[in-house]
Structure 1
């Protein structure tokens, strides 16, 4: 009789366990220590059935300085950077939804909210100085970045689908910094050389693919070209049910 009960329980619970609706989220200590994460994540899980495990190392998603702005703490803007996926996408959409915003602002200490969903009030207009040649930037982008990224309609079917397009990256608040220093951001250091800037590849650790070689002038041109790209429309956030 006892064995039958175990089998029945395993049969009922098995599909739920195997689905494993979860992902890891890299969270800075300052957010952990504030108690905000213990307030935020369980409420998302209760609404969606998706479990999020906060970790200190690299993960499927991260709260930090990069990605989409999702909430602010005083004058500090917190962003969500993530890999594409059903559960990470749902989390990003939830944070930007009305219920997500109410949850963010529902966390208080001594009756006062510490986090706010209206990130716009803390963002100041920035004057971005562009000095490169945009025409040259398009040519260089297609030639040296187009094998992985969608640059424009001309290489839409030739790039790697899992890498973000230039139009998508143009939506990032820090897009200019990212493009200027792209060669320092993974996975680029493994196969990118910048003339008179980066060290040559080690003989023991050569580039795993045909390397990309660019100059600082070409990087400035790429930035000038990206500055003129219309940012991708990400659409309205999905409303949680």
Structure 2
């Protein structure tokens, strides 16, 4: 019995020593001086029960150059986190990259200097496409070839078919350029439209059901230029009756 008690006592006293050791994190002086790590490390430990302490020997390291993953930036300097293999190190990295980690970093208010940012998302601006065609000629072509079914503009406002969208409605669609560039292969246009040097001739045994539309790629460029200058319909506006 005495031997058993001695063994239990030794195990209990040894538990802090065999507990999970803290992860060391080395960091540049500007980060240490800012107080950021004193803000985020306890919060990570509270969330995960994994303790991280500042330690110049690593094994994790914050650096101002790659390799590593960008975790935050300040005053034009981006800081990269380098880790070695290890479940807890990977967990710390993933936490830094998570929304919770980013919010924790950005919630820190330094005593002086700029705050830290943990957002690296870039918004790509789509350049407006330019159309080289003659818009005035495109307006005339649209009215002549398309106006019998579509409302092209004020010129034929009351003459389009009710089942076909107006040019203004088509212009409001995100893929309007594709729709107009490829209109001749979309139903029902393919049955009665020919683009010179692009589409094959009509099958003599299957003539077009209506007077055919014949145009060139230059004509199509002109129509695209016209449609690009057309105001898009506001599909969110309330319907108006006449």
With normalisation by structure 2, the TM-score equals 0.46
User: Which structure's CA Rg is the greater one?
Assistant: 2
- Which structure exhibits the higher relative contact order, with contacts defined as CA atoms closer than 8 Å and separated by 6 or more residues? 1
With normalisation by structure 1, the TM-score equals 0.46
